Structure 1
Amino acid sequence: MLLSGSLPADVQVRPLIARHDQRGVLFELSRNSWEGAVPVAQWNALQSQAGVLRGMAVHCENTDVYLALEGRALLGLADLRSDSPSFRARCVVELDAKSPLAVTIPVGIAHGLYFETDALVLAALSRRFDAEDKLGCCWDDPWLAIPWPSISPRVLARDQHWPSAKQLVEQVSARLAAAKAADC
């Protein structure tokens, strides 16, 4: 569920249909026939306690898909693609295991997770993780203007000392241009 802001172009939010019976619940996470389906090369599980913020990170080669399996987390998104029709669009999407949905995050979209409760979030990656493809900026950079619910989340020291969002936009633009040139 979109809580605030404007969804960046190409980000997909897909409600997942739950099938309940006396044994419990089954819901499909992904299907190749779905529009915009992402081929998955790697699955990761992120388990964090309430009050933790992970991010803001961006990939230039990898598409991500996030969904909550337990608990609730807020997914902050910001479009850093300078040639995008939604450049600088930002939003917060609620990931709640009680109302499951999958959010597909294309390259060039910065994203971070704030865990409102203890939670387990599943992350699918279109390519195997490559540390060289992970860039980031400070989670509370005013340029991003992500409306996080907490002004003092628990974050890694690295996440507090990443470059500014404006510097990150320059890095993302250069990498996306290089990737586009390599495809020609």
Structure 2
Amino acid sequence: MIEGVKEKKCIHHVDDRGFFMELVREDEALLERFGQLSLSMSYPGVIKAFHYHENQDDVWFFPVGNAQVVLHDLREDSPTYKETNVFYMGETNPIVLVIPKGVAHGYRVLGTSPATIVYLTSQAYNPNAPDEYRIPWDDESIGFDWETKNR
């Protein structure tokens, strides 16, 4: 796994009223600090990729729908430099994913329903000095094939 990436299985507490799930707790040491909590919805087939941050870590969770999440390590001093990881996240696999600064990340919505992502960042977004750097979804240096293969 890419150095610094953390995956946490989520535990549902279920009863006849529904369920409760803790996503991120301060005593788990997933983030150095907390900056912002955000939510986004994307339609089936949409690819939102790639971007990375120089100063902030992200925590991703998909409570609705399913997504193929792709990470690519851009950190030259990392033992996993240029490594790519793929995670399948969402309703059918509820996990929390910590994405460290310097790791490019993006996702593709799977299935026929929209997906919702809830994400935390270790710092708040600053529109005057955004810590967000874009890479095209089909960048040749990453070389990721987003197409799902039938087996």
Structure 2: distance between partners of 1:38 and 1:103:
15
Which amino acid in the other structure matches residue 110 of structure 1? A
Q: Where do residues 75-90 of structure 1 align in structure 2 (5 Å cutoff)?
A: 75-90=69-84
Equivalent pairs: percent with the same residue?
27
The alignment status of 1:18 with 2:12, answered yes or no, reads yes
Identify the match of residue 142 of structure 1 among 120, 125, 140: 140
User: In the TM superposition, what is the alpha-carbon distance from 1:38 to its structure 2 partner?
Assistant: 4.8
What 5-or-longer segments of structure 2 have no aligned partner?
A: none
2:31 and 2:57 in contact (8 A); partners too: no
Report deviation, 1:130: 2.9
In structure 2, how many angstroms separate the alpha carbons of the residues matched to 1:148 and 1:70? 21
TM-superposed deviation, 1:73: 0.8
- Pairs aligned (count): 144
User: Of the candidates 43, 61, 67, which is equivalent to residue 61 of structure 2?
Assistant: 67
Question: Per the alignment, do residues 127 and 8 of structure 1 end up closer, same or farther by CA in structure 2, a change over 3 Å counting?
Answer: same
Which has the larger displacement, 130-139 or 55-64?
Answer: 130-139
Deviates more, 1:82-91 or 1:26-35: 26-35
Letter in 1 for 2:19: V
TM-score normalised to structure 2 length? 0.89
Native 8 Å contact 1:63 1:104 kept in 2: yes
Amino acid at match of 2:139: D
Flag the structure with higher strand content. 2
Greater relative contact order (Cα 8 A, min sep 6): structure 1 or 2?
2
1:114 shift after superposition? 0.7
* Contact preservation (8 Å) 1:30, 1:37: no
Structure 2 residue matching 1:33: 3-state secondary structure? helix
Q: What TM-score, normalized to structure 1?
A: 0.74
Q: Which amino acid aligns with 1:135?
A: Y
Structure 1: runs of 5+ lacking an equivalent: 1-6, 151-184
Asked if 1:52 corresponds to 2:46, the answer is yes
Q: Which residue in 1 is equivalent to 2:131?
A: 133
1:121 and 2:128 correspond: no
- Partners of 1:31 and 1:37 within 8 A in 2: no
Q: Is the 8 A contact 2:31 2:122 kept in 1?
A: no
Does the 8 A contact of 1:63 with 1:105 survive in 2? yes
Q: Which amino acid is 1:87 matched to?
A: Y
Give the whole-Å Cα distance in 2 for the aligned partners of 1:134 and 1:62: 9
